[in-house]
Structure 1
């Protein structure tokens, strides 16, 4: 996707949670962990650096030099493990602005990315990257302006903390809300605020209710939500389109097909994230409805 000053593109490069799960049974939805690219007007925004960012990086090699803004929700492995394989970061002339919230122990995102590339975990250090990397720490709840884009942030309910984002541009809004656990019996006000009247909400739907509340192997406290709770948010926040994201590695393509069918019955404008999925939002006059077009 080339940059277009009048378009808002969203592309999915990694849609899994917890651990990569490539194989014959995950071909249609993909097995790479979290990475989403948003091309908003003249700016490229990248959310999370799971293994999907490696493939994104390969696609950018034909567009050098590259500039981008990289936002991390948190630093669990499935959201940072692809960053050391992000080839554009090794190439002089490229520039990346990297955003993250300090962890509860005070470690910055720069320190956490640095630490995962130390021996014995990785052969070369972060300093070998020759692109210009500029790191920015922000406080939860802070808004981040990038020209005419405003990115809102809010805390999510996840062990060790995580951040949700809402990208606002020319009357359009896309929310990226992954790695968050719902509160049984009530809706999370932070999630609702990020989702309010959004054109597109990409949300954690790792489990089904049956898995989450299973007496023998409950997922309560694991930091993730269900597709049923995602539908509740979609209805309460009056969003236009819902994208179920962060698929559990144990959910193969056929299992996800069933979830997609059930979720679409509950909220018709629902799709399941899959690698290569591209959505396009186009700002139009106020009296016309903004439409998204699925591609790929």
Structure 2
């Protein structure tokens, strides 16, 4: 598993964010002969460069939300220009507002972007499903989902592949009752989690409670605020680890095996 983007809201490049990274959300899970990608922020551009050396590639992109910061990397996804690559796009929270193909087509339409989505040469498919349902991908990959909200609808995921289970629950409004979320992520070897709010200490306390109650193997908190510097995040990470020892803040470029302890 590799983190290609860990910044929430908007990309935040610069010297003050060099250690944790400035690209917006994108996480790759390597499931043998297929990859699963969570979100398509600007980190997707860097992932695309990596995939060009691995073609042909088959992959599934799962969108937690369709806010701009989680789709804006798509036009710069080099791997989508390779005719031997195959990518499926999945979205669980837009059954009435317009499907995922319409969202991504609009993103790559003048005047927002100068070239249309059909410039891509890879084989692309688009899939909408009702959040709360599960489905199977190729290579024995199983996906479960729940509907979430941060003011706008979204989807959280649990992906099981060879080696273990990864949960991805991001940009959540902290619920008054954590039971539904805890029940959903129970059994995850790794949980990638973020809550929306202006008090990181409070949000990390909630994240640690979720991880503790769900018996999570490794908690990784992501979607760092654009204004948060490396020094800010190092201090925050120390506080998080004091609450739940098997935890960390996500760093761009981090690679880890499912079930691998963090040192």
TM-score range (shorter-chain normalised) is over 0.9
What is aligned with 2:230?
253
**Do the aligned residues in 2 keep the contact of 1:157 with 1:182 (CA within 8 Å)?**
no
Residue 164, structure 1, aligned to residue 132, structure 2: no
**Do the aligned residues in 2 keep the contact of 1:68 with 1:95 (CA within 8 Å)?**
yes
**Structure 1 210/58 Cα, relative in aligned 2: closer, same or farther at 3 Å?**
closer
Distance 1:249 1:119 in 2: 28
**Do the aligned residues in 2 keep the contact of 1:207 with 1:248 (CA within 8 Å)?**
no
More off after superposition, 164-173 vs 262-271: 164-173
**Structure 1 207/255 Cα, relative in aligned 2: closer, same or farther at 3 Å?**
farther
Matches within 5 A, 1:45-84: 45-84=36-75
Distance 2:68 2:198 in 1: 23
Distance 2:41 2:200 in 1: 27
**Structure 1 110/75 Cα, relative in aligned 2: closer, same or farther at 3 Å?**
same
Q: Deviations over 1:80-104 (max 9, x none)?
A: 0001100111221211111112526
Given candidates 167, 171, 178, the residue that maps to 1:175 is 167
**Do the aligned residues in 1 keep the contact of 2:36 with 2:61 (CA within 8 Å)?**
yes
Residue 236, structure 1, aligned to residue 236, structure 2: no
What is aligned with 2:121?
130
How far apart are residue 205 of structure 1 and its match?
4.4
**Structure 1 64/169 Cα, relative in aligned 2: closer, same or farther at 3 Å?**
closer
TM-score by length of 2: 0.94
**Do the aligned residues in 2 keep the contact of 1:49 with 1:80 (CA within 8 Å)?**
yes
Structure 2 gaps of 5+ residues are: none
Distance 1:210 1:148 in 2: 37
Aligned length: 262
**Structure 1 188/121 Cα, relative in aligned 2: closer, same or farther at 3 Å?**
farther
Residue 292, structure 1, aligned to residue 260, structure 2: yes
What is aligned with 1:199?
189
How far apart are residue 27 of structure 1 and its match?
0.2
TM-score by length of 1: 0.84
**Segments of 4+ in structure 1 off by > 4 A?**
205-208
**Structure 1 156/130 Cα, relative in aligned 2: closer, same or farther at 3 Å?**
same
**Do the aligned residues in 1 keep the contact of 2:172 with 2:196 (CA within 8 Å)?**
no
Distance 1:159 1:63 in 2: 38
